[in-house]
């Protein structure tokens, strides 16, 4: 089982709209750790945990606004799972996209037990709090499906790609944002995507491009044209290099695409906002909830096995996909995440678990034993059942 959240660096996934104004140094430290990530902590739980910290100041939690993006979803009540569950916090604000994805997979695959459906249905469903025996660190371990169309995994991937892209942009002296499009075409989506990516490879071989561009990161977006009704795949590219005339670049793109001169290139003045905008497409090039079922099926089929983003030139060292982290520590299970959260409403021992997790402070052996009822070095070999094990379960 892997650590499902990027916790090695002490990050906690938390909605930016859930940040509270806190005066004490302890609470500010927690918020500083959380600001770079999203979606784990609900408003009600944040209030409960922070209220338990020593000398915490009074606070109010602002409500999510309509301006939230896919990287900062509104935390609404999920029809699939309660918001106080581990899975529910990642699902919050993505319920409609999840329903559209599930329906699409059901239409694509005859078997209800296919790996795609099973993956998104089990993603983050089970999670455990664990304590590292040597350091006392508390982390959450869970399974994530890492499916391309899973709205929970795509949100996490977009957050990671946003940070990586932002670092790359801030290292440039004059970053630029380039959009390459194709003229309206009634061809199927798969053919258009292949032609778009082939054309992009061709323009990168041209002398004018090689002379002025030293590297960049590209992202694929797919949608239907509002007026034409045709598929409209296009590339968003952040590039490093020298100034390029839009007219000359347009003529070059027109040449390699055999008649698609429309491009847009502009300077990047806000690396953070630009990175946030393009990174969402590396995880999800289209929003299935906004499409009819037939279009969803075509999009998923056309993009199967296709790259959604990539790097070239001096950006090849940039990694856009979160690594699959395997923790090598010696971890003892504290309890199921959802069970600990529910117990924390009345149990001081459960509250202590959450306090250690959110604040990053080590969990003492005493606190571990108070919650689990077992010594720190307890093993299954030490367990003596209170009664003889039954051959059949009681409900059979």
Residue 80 predicted with pLDDT over 80: no
Task: Output helix, strand, coil percentages for the chain, rounded to the nearest 5.
Answer: 40, 15, 45
Cα–Cα distance between 199 and 181 in angstroms, integer? 10
pLDDT of the residue at 328:
77
pLDDT band at 322 (very low <50, low <70, confident <90, very high): confident
Residue 100 predicted with pLDDT over 80: yes
Q: pLDDT tens across 56-71, in order?
A: 333 333 333 333 322 2
pLDDT of the residue at 123:
94
Mean pLDDT throughout 75-98? Answer: 72
pLDDT band at 156 (very low <50, low <70, confident <90, very high): confident
| C-beta separation of 136 from 362 below 8 A | yes
pLDDT band at 323 (very low <50, low <70, confident <90, very high): confident
> pLDDT: is 34 or 315 the higher one?
315
**What secondary structure does DSSP assign to 53-80, as a single string?**
STTPPP---PPP-TT--TTS------SS
Pick the range with the lowest mean pLDDT from 210-224, 243-257, 364-378. 364-378
Q: Which residues of 245-272 are buried (b: 16+ CB within 10 A; e: fewer)?
A: eeeebbebbeebbeebeebebeebeebe
Residue 381 predicted with pLDDT over 60: no
Cα–Cα distance between 378 and 29 in angstroms, integer? 33
Q: Which own/partner contact pairs does 58-63 have at CB distance under 8 Å and 24+ positions apart?
A: 59/20, 59/21, 59/22, 60/20, 60/21, 61/18, 61/20, 62/17, 62/19, 63/17
Residue 83 has φ and ψ, to the nearest 5°, of -70, -15
Q: Which two tokens stand for residue 166?
A: 């932002």
What whole-number percentage of the chain has pLDDT above 90? 63
> Where in the chain are the domains?
16-146+325-372, 156-313
pTM: 0.71
Q: What is the bridge-based pairing of β-strands 263-267 and 331-336? A: unpaired
Cα–Cα distance between 132 and 388 in angstroms, integer? 32
pLDDT of the residue at 179:
97
Cα–Cα distance between 364 and 172 in angstroms, integer? 46
Q: How would CATH label the architecture of 156-313?
A: 2-Layer Sandwich (3.30)
pLDDT of the residue at 227:
85
pLDDT of the residue at 83:
58
| C-beta separation of 359 from 46 below 8 A | no
| C-beta separation of 270 from 177 below 8 A | no
């Amino acid at each position: 089982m892997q650590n499902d959240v990027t916790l090695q660096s002490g990050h906690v996934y938390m909605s930016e709209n859930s940040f509270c104004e806190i005066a004490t140094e302890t609470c500010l430290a927690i918020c500083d750790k959380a600001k770079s990530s999203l979606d784990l902590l609900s408003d009600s739980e944040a209030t409960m945990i922070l209220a338990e910290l020593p000398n915490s100041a009074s606070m109010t939690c602002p409500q999510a606004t309509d301006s939230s993006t896919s990287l900062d979803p509104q935390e609404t009540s999920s029809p699939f799972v309660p918001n106080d569950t581990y899975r529910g916090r990642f699902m919050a604000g993505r319920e409609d996209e999840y329903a559209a994805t599930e329906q699409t997979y059901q239409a694509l695959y005859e078997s209800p037990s296919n790996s795609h459906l099973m993956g998104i249905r089990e993603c983050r469903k089970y999670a455990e709090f664990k304590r590292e025996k040597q350091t006392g660190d508390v982390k959450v371990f869970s399974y994530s499906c890492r499916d391309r169309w899973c709205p929970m995994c795509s949100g996490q991937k977009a957050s990671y790609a946003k940070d990586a892209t932002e670092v790359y942009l801030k290292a440039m002296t004059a970053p630029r944002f380039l959009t390459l499009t194709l003229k309206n075409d009634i061809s199927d989506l798969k053919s258009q995507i292949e032609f778009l990516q082939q054309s992009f490879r061709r323009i990168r071989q041209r002398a004018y491009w090689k002379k002025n561009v030293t590297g960049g990161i590209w992202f694929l977006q797919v949608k239907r044209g509002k007026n034409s009704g045709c598929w409209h795949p296009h590339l968003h590219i952040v590039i490093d290099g020298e100034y390029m005339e839009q007219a000359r670049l347009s003529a070059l793109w027109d040449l390699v695409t055999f008649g698609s001169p429309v491009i847009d290139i502009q300077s990047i003045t806000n690396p953070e906002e630009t990175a946030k905008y393009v990174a969402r497409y590396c995880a999800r090039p289209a929003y299935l909830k906004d499409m009819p079922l037939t279009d969803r099926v075509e999009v998923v089929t056309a993009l199967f096995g296709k790259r959604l983003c990539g790097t070239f030139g001096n950006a090849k060292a940039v990694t856009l996909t979160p690594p699959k982290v395997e923790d090598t520590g010696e971890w003892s299970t504290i309890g199921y995440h959802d069970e600990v959260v529910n117990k924390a409403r009345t149990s001081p021992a459960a509250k202590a678990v959450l306090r250690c997790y959110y604040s990053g402070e080590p969990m003492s052996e005493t606190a571990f034993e108070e919650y689990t009822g077992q010594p720190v070095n307890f093993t299954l070999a030490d367990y003596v059942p209170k009664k003889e094990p039954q051959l059949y379960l009681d409900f059979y």
